[in-house]
Structure formats: structure tokens, C-alpha cells
Amino acid sequence: MAHYLVRRFLYLIAVLVAVTFTVSLMLSLPAGDPAQVLAGPEASAAQVDAVREALRLDRPVVERYIDWLGDAVTGDLGNSLRTNEPVIDSIRDRLPVTLELVILGQLLALLFAVPAAIFAAYRPGRPADAATTVSSFLMISSPSFIVALLLIRIFSVELGWLPTGGWVPLSENLGDNLRAAILPVIALALEPAGIYQRLLRSDMRRTLDEDYIMMAEAKGLGPRTILLRHSLRPSSFSLLTMIGIVSARMVGGSVIVETIFGLPGIGRLLIDSIGFRDFVTVQGVVAVIAVAYVVVNSFVDVLYGVVDPRVRVDAAG
């Protein structure tokens, strides 16, 4: 087990290095003078020099990356080209917003998916099952940017119930915070909710086809006990894995939602920085998102390995 964790950890480090290095590499790949390209066509010579200086583009990629990595490990992600503030500070300011969106999004998705899956698995093939299946597919197939726009139209424009955007920090006012969060969270949760419902329903159906369920039925256990105790629990395994994968993906998906609703999260920071061609910040934000993504995925893998020894053997072999 310890051996496995060490291997996993080394792998995690390797992926982190690869992701951050890829970003570094991409910054020096544009044809011609990368600094000129990154600074944009209208940049003055001084601005181009500033970009070259800040990103150390005059140096070989590997050297530049090692410098960046050395600073990054100590928490120094450089200073923004736009505001000259430390990048790490703006990330720290904005991270709680994104985390709140992801956590609430997960809760909402599960709140829909688990009952809907049980409902559908209980009587497969019936209209109720078909209806939940179709709505799950619809949820999976609806891009968050469309959902966000339609929600704004309905709940903000038509009904006037909720703000079209903006953010109130949790520390200021809980009610206003939730009012600001509710539409973005729905937009973010819709796709995962559909995925979870499909996954859990199919796993539960498989479990319900097992012999021991028939035994339980024969013993006269009620559908409630069978569904919740004997079927949901053994079926929730792959759901847990999926929650991990989706958590990581949601951090990326929040880019769109934060942009549409004007929320000060790190996804918005990324898009804004790209707009201002502030590639020091871009590099920092991507590094942080990548770390979150890779760490969550690894955590899920390890969890899987702890629970199911077969995975460990495969991973080692």
C-alpha cells in the first residue's frame, strides 16, 4: 500500500510538471518573436520588451520553466502584466468563489440525480424511467453557456427574481450570496446531474438483477429497504469516482459560467487575463487549475485503490 501511494505521488508530480511545462512551452511556440505575438499586434516596443522580460522569453524554454517552477514552489507566480500585483494574490482572492460554485453545484447535481436514479431503477422501462432518461440526456446535452443565458432570460428578465450577475461574498450576506449563486450553480450542475443519474441508474439496475436482491425480495423485504440498503449502497461506487472526475472538470467549466454571470472566480480571471494578454497571470491560473484537477483525480484514483485492491495490482503491473 505504501509502495502504491509513493508511486501514485510520483506520478502526480510528473503530471503536474508536464502540464505546467506544456503551458510554458506553448508560450514560446508562436512563430516569429513570441513576445511580439503574445503582446499583441498593437503593442509598442516597450510593451513587447516588458512581456519578454516578465515571461523570460529570451531564455531557453527549459531554463525559463525551471526558474518559473522554482518561484512557483515558493508561492511566487510572478506579477501581473496589467496591475503589477502578485498573481498569487488575485488567485487567492478569487478561489473561494469558484470553490463555492463547485461545491454547491455538486450538491445540487446529487440532489437531483440520486432520487431520480432510484425512481428510474425501481421500475425500469416504465414511462417514469423513460422520462427521467430523456431528461437526463437533455441535461447532458445542454451546454452550460446556453443554459446560463436561458436562466437569465427566465428568472432575471421575465420574472425578476434573481440578479443577472454579480457577486456578494459569503462573509457579507448569506442570503444575497446564495441569490447570486443560484443561477450559476444550476447552469454548472445540469450536465453532471444528468451524468450521475444515468450512471447510478445503470449501476442500480445491474445490482437489482443480482441473485441476492431476488433473495431479499423473497424474504419479504420492502422495496424501500431493497432499494436504499441493498442496492444504492453497492451501486454508489462508480458514482463516487465520477464525482471526483466531475469536480476536477467543474473547475474548468466554471470559466464559462463565471464569465457569463460576471463572477469574480478564477475562471473569469483566466478569460480576463487572456483578453488583456496578461500571460503571466494566465500561466499562474492554469497552473493552479491544473494542480486542482490533477490532485482531485489522483485522490479519486487512490481512493479507488484503497477500496478495491484489484486496481492496485493492475496499476502496479
Q: For the CA atoms of 132, 138, 141, 144, what is the dihedral angle to 10 degrees?
A: -100
- Residue from 255, 263, 280, 300 touching other proteins (CB under 8 A): that is 255
Binding of residue 57 to other proteins (CB under 8 A): no
Q: Give min distance, CB of 32 to other proteins, in A.
A: 12
Q: Give min distance, CB of 172 to other proteins, in A.
A: 28
SS3 state at 79: strand
Q: Give min distance, CB of 257 to other proteins, in A.
A: 11
- Beta partners for residue 79, in sequence order: 86
Cell of 117: 436514479
Binding of residue 6 to other proteins (CB under 8 A): no
- Residue from 13, 149, 240, 306 touching other proteins (CB under 8 A): that is 149
Radius of gyration of the chain (CA): 24
Residues 6+ apart with CB under 8 A from 149: 260
Distance CA 312, CA 307 (A): 9
Cell of 245: 472526475
Q: What DSSP element (H or E) covers 280?
A: helix 279-307
Say how many C-beta atoms besides its own lie within 10 A of residue 22's C-beta: 13
Q: Give min distance, CB of 281 to other proteins, in A.
A: 12
Q: Are the C-beta atoms of residues 201 and 130 closer than 8 Å to each other?
A: no
- Residue from 111, 150, 228, 303 touching other proteins (CB under 8 A): that is 150
- In terms of CB distance, is 177 or 276 closer to other proteins? 276
Binding of residue 256 to other proteins (CB under 8 A): yes
Amino acid letter for position 241? T
Q: Are the C-beta atoms of residues 157 and 164 closer than 8 Å to each other?
A: yes
- Beta partners for residue 86, in sequence order: 79
Distance CA 310, CA 308 (A): 6
Mark the segment that binds other proteins (CB under 8 A) among 74-82, 88-96, 236-244, 268-276.
268-276
Mark the segment that binds other proteins (CB under 8 A) among 2-10, 59-67, 95-103, 289-297.
289-297
Q: Are the C-beta atoms of residues 247 and 266 closer than 8 Å to each other?
A: no
- In terms of CB distance, is 160 or 175 closer to other proteins? 160
Q: How wide is the angle at C-alpha 28 spanned by C-alphas 23 and 30, nearest 5°?
A: 110
Binding of residue 146 to other proteins (CB under 8 A): yes
Binding of residue 253 to other proteins (CB under 8 A): yes
- Residue from 13, 29, 215, 228 touching other proteins (CB under 8 A): that is 29
- In terms of CB distance, is 81 or 286 closer to other proteins? 286
Give the x-and-dash track for 88-117 against other proteins (CB under 8 A): ------------------------------
- Residue from 60, 115, 143, 309 touching other proteins (CB under 8 A): that is 143
Give Cα 118 to chain centroid, integer Å.
Answer: 26
Distance CA 309, CA 303 (A): 10
Give the x-and-dash track for 154-173 against other proteins (CB under 8 A): ---x----------------
- Residue from 55, 290, 300, 302 touching other proteins (CB under 8 A): that is 290
Contact positions vs other proteins (CB under 8 A): 14-15, 18-19, 22-23, 26-27, 29-30, 37-38, 124, 134, 137-138, 140-146, 149-150, 152-153, 157, 198, 202, 205-206, 209, 248-249, 251-253, 255-256, 259, 270-271, 274, 279, 282, 286, 289-290, 293-294, 297, 313, 316-317
